[in-house]
Homo-oligomer: A and B are copies of this chain.
Amino acid sequence: MSGLDQTDLAILRILAADATRSAAEIGRSVGIGQSAAWRRIRKLRESGILAGRRVVVDNAALGFGVTVFLGVRLAAKGRTSLDEFERAVTAIPEVQTVQHVLGQFDYRLRIIARDISDFERILRRRIMTLPGVGQVEANVMLSEERLPGPLGALG
């Protein structure tokens, strides 16, 4: 029970699609005034539902054209080995995301490389030398599509 009405959901959908829209414009789209729209946006921010704004950086435009997803299974699991692995993996600059997961693997990593041979270097020198690394599985990304997600499932 988040206490959100249809207007709040409509505002969230608009902002999720394009964060540059102004409060006045959003208000017009959902049928309320600029001030009312702004207050709702502030409330969404204060409630933690809107958890910040980020720019989208095009890694390919920066010369990093290869994205690889890596499933990592640790050889030995323990409290210390998880901490140790996380500390070491977050220090690798090519690692963009670290996800601690449950299932066949213990961690999922999103890795950015300039090209495939650059990725091989990262895998051999950086990843395979991490403390406690066991089985590793790689998937090279061809394309990615983001969808509205839960905002589409609500209302």
The chain A residues found within 8 Å of chain B, CB to CB, are 1-2, 4, 12, 15-20, 47-59, 61-64, 69, 71, 86, 90, 93-105, 108, 112, 137-154
Contacts of A56 in B (CB 8 A): 50-54
Closest to A101 in B: B139
Contact A58 B48 (CB under 8 A): yes
Contacts of A1 in B (CB 8 A): 63
Contacts of A145 in B (CB 8 A): 86, 90, 97-99
The docked-state distance in angstroms from the alpha carbon of A103 to that of B136 is 12
Would you list the 3 A-B pairs with minimal beta carbon distance, nearest first?
A96-B149, A93-B153, A103-B139
Contacts of A96 in B (CB 8 A): 146-150
| Known contacts A49-B61, A69-B99; is-contact A15 B55 (Cβ 8 Å) | yes
Contacts of A150 in B (CB 8 A): 57, 59, 62, 64, 93-94, 96, 112
The docked-state distance in angstroms from the alpha carbon of A8 to that of B73 is 37
A17 to chain B, nearest CB (A): 8
Contacts of A20 in B (CB 8 A): 52-53
Contact B54 A102 (CB under 8 A): no
Contact B62 A51 (CB under 8 A): no
Contact among B18, B48, B94, B101 with A61 in the assembled complex (CB-CB below 8 Å): B48
Contact among B49, B59, B61 with A58 in the assembled complex (CB-CB below 8 Å): B49
A55 to chain B, nearest CB (A): 5
